[in-house]
Amino acid sequence: MHSAVIILICTGAVFFVRGEPVSEGDGVHPRSPRVKRAPGDTERDCTATPQYIPSTAKDTTDLLRRLREGMQSSGHFAGSIQAYIIPAGDAHLSEYISERDQRRAFISGMSGSAGTAVVTNDGSGGGKAAVWTDSRYFLQAEQQLDCNWILMRQGEEDVPTIEEWLVSELGTGGRVGVDPQLVSIKLWEALEEALTDARIRLFGVPHNLVDDVWDDRPGPSQAPVFPLGLEYTGKSWEDKISDVREKMTDENADALVLTKLDEVAWLFNLRGSDVPFNPVFFAYAIVTADTAVLYLDTNKVTDDVTSHLRLGCATGASCVQVAAYDTLLTAVEALAADSTMRKIWISSASTTYAVFSKVPESKQILDASPVMKMKSKKNSVEQQGLKNAHIRDAVAKCEYLMWLEDAVPGGSVTEISGADYLQQLRSRQRDYMGLSFPSISASGPNGAVVHYRPSAETNRAVTTSDVYLIDSGGQYKDGTTDVTRTLHFGQPTDYQRETYTLVLMGAINEFLQVFKQGTFGIRLQQAARAPLFSYGLEFGHGLGHGLGSFLNVHEDPYFRSTEGVPVGEEGTFITIEPGYYEDGQFGIRLETLAMVKEADTKYHYNGRTYLTFEPVTLVPFQEKMIKFDMLNEKQLTWLNDYHRQVRETIGPELQRQGKDDVYDWLMKNTQPFETSRITSSGAQPVASVFFIVIAVVCSIFST
């Protein structure tokens, strides 16, 4: 009996004295050398004789000839232009672009999401063509571009910027054209300033020259626009417009022009699917004190929409009119010409130069759109909706993790098949409307590619010897989800566990923060990065982003922000997603959505309340990846509380859905971590004293 007690003590104590916070054996793993693919394989070789162009590349010779003809003799402006810039974006500066707007991909063949093309025209049908893109798309570009194109590898040494290249190609006095509907105010001004020094003029070409040569350009989206009811939005469009008008009064604005698709969708409680992943439709809006006009494809104004917006309502503050999508610029011109419209509010960050240039400077209010801030602070219906969506999303995610534990050792799972299966599981959940972004399903070294998206060429098996990272989310009628977990289905190395634990500690530190009303994200970053920094490690991406209520997966606020929308506002949702990436080896990211809520503090300075983060994503962290001896007591308590919340919230939903096997899996994977398993660094010296005293007691009684 006695010895049993003593053994219990000594066993417990072992965990204290062991407690080296980090194991010395591991170093940062060396990078794997970059394998240069042989030309003549899948990549073009423009230096070979004859040039080698793979079948995946697009033949752009004829297209470029026709584009240059347009540049030479366009009737849209006086004289020819020597260079034409083709951005990747649309007229709303959207993150996800419809097929119809993928002009840069069409003209060059390079289909990656990021990149800008520039085509020059020497006046005799010739010239150069170049595409700027970042390292994510270097390989893809070499496979998709023919030899008409120069690939400008952004981020590599001696690669010129677009402006530098234009100056070197055109000399002084040339003319550069761009579609002003496709560039932000900021980009236009930066281009103009850089070119002005070389006396090159920047022209806004009112007609898109790529569209002129795009014979089989897809037509406008036929996807329906549909109302989202009060049970999801929590506030009528009438009330939202009334709030917007209050803000306009505060800013002395007579009119407000909204150009962001998610802002228009939010304001009118309408949704659509004109672009991938974001449930929005092509539209603009103009609000004044007594009018609200929605500009959209009028074919989409169904009976439902008509009734939702009460179209045909007599004029007045609670009426809305619809107008054709392509009449927006004319309407802005009319506003600008209207002498009763003294000040017109345009969003500084998200408006195109085309809209901006229609409003004379004296009439401009250039500021963040009021809708940007309003929609980031979710009302109680939206809050509950987002929480509910995350409960159902967690059911699918837990089902997936349980399935992986079985399937991965069998060797049949790949990045793509895994992501597909997860999508299938999500789609069985109520109110599922699609993915909220392309799933990042990444095994081993692919996990270190931060914006990885598996393709046929890169698809790897998910194995028992690799770290697996799954970052994915769904659109549900009651909310948008975005969650990342990182797992190992075999035996992780000590270094993988150490870095996973540092990332987890960062996430927990972030959740433990208490902060002031109105705090901008920039002040709240360090806590999540601190554990990695203290080990001499870091990650190079933002800590997190806001997310919509069945809207865009990325919206304000951001943790990087120093102004605009603060994180410190009750009802704000933001992802907390620290990571660590070991190039060529593995990637770790733990992304958990948080809601900003009032903190429970002992005091209230000057009657104030303070804020903290509440977890909304409820998916367990993998126990085998955690080195518990690195966590302090506060962190461990948070982790146990979190897993308890997962059990208590997701468990009943699993039972309700009859998923008993997943329920059992969840119970097994959310057990509290026992204190005897951990070493708080705070406890060590004290514990050592105890251990010695116990040893003395033991030795005394054993003599």
List residues binding a copy of itself (CB under 8 A).
Answer: 1-2, 5-6, 8-9, 12, 16, 22, 27-28, 513-516, 522-527, 530, 533-538, 562, 599, 601-605, 608-610, 632-634, 675-676, 680-687, 689-690, 693, 696-697, 700-701
Residue 295 DSSP code: E
Contact 533, 339 (CB under 8 A): no
Of 385 and 531, which has the nearer Cβ to a copy of itself? 531
Of 386 and 467, which has the nearer Cβ to a copy of itself? 467
Smallest separation, CB 595 to a copy of itself (Å): 18
Residues 6+ apart with CB under 8 A from 651: 663, 666, 667
Smallest separation, CB 601 to a copy of itself (Å): 3
Of 146 and 577, which has the nearer Cβ to a copy of itself? 577
Contact 478, 232 (CB under 8 A): yes
Smallest separation, CB 646 to a copy of itself (Å): 21
Smallest separation, CB 520 to a copy of itself (Å): 9
Which parts of 258-326 fold into alpha helices (H)? 261-268, 303-309
What are the φ/ψ torsions at residue 658 (nearest 5 degrees)? 70, 20
Contact 269, 549 (CB under 8 A): no
User: Which letter, b or e, does each residue of 10-47 get, where b requires 16 or more Cβ atoms within 10 Å of its Cβ?
Assistant: eebbebbeebeebeeeeeeeeeeeeeeeeeeebbbbbe
Of 172 and 676, which has the nearer Cβ to a copy of itself? 676
Smallest separation, CB 556 to a copy of itself (Å): 17
Of 22 and 190, which has the nearer Cβ to a copy of itself? 22
Smallest separation, CB 6 to a copy of itself (Å): 8
Of 275 and 687, which has the nearer Cβ to a copy of itself? 687
Residues 531, 503: Cα–Cα separation, whole Å: 7
Smallest separation, CB 676 to a copy of itself (Å): 7
Of 239 and 538, which has the nearer Cβ to a copy of itself? 538
116-120 and 292-296 strand pairing = unpaired
Residues 398, 426: Cα–Cα separation, whole Å: 11
| End-to-end CA gap in the chain | 17
Of 432 and 515, which has the nearer Cβ to a copy of itself? 515
Of 40 and 685, which has the nearer Cβ to a copy of itself? 685
Entry field: residues in the chain:
703
Smallest separation, CB 399 to a copy of itself (Å): 34
| Nearest residue to 382 (alpha-carbon basis) of 484, 283, 471, 266 | 266
Of 185 and 524, which has the nearer Cβ to a copy of itself? 524
Smallest separation, CB 495 to a copy of itself (Å): 9
Give the Cα-Cα-Cα angle 444, 448, 452 (nearest 5 degrees).
95
Structure tokens of 348? 């500084």
Residues 311, 259: Cα–Cα separation, whole Å: 21
| Nearest residue to 194 (alpha-carbon basis) of 204, 205, 186, 206 | 186
Smallest separation, CB 543 to a copy of itself (Å): 11
What own/partner pairs with CB < 8 Å and gap ≥ 24 does 295-298 have?
A: 295/322, 295/323, 295/324, 295/325, 295/327, 295/328, 295/331, 296/225, 296/322, 296/324, 296/325, 297/220, 297/324, 297/325, 298/322, 298/323, 298/324, 298/325
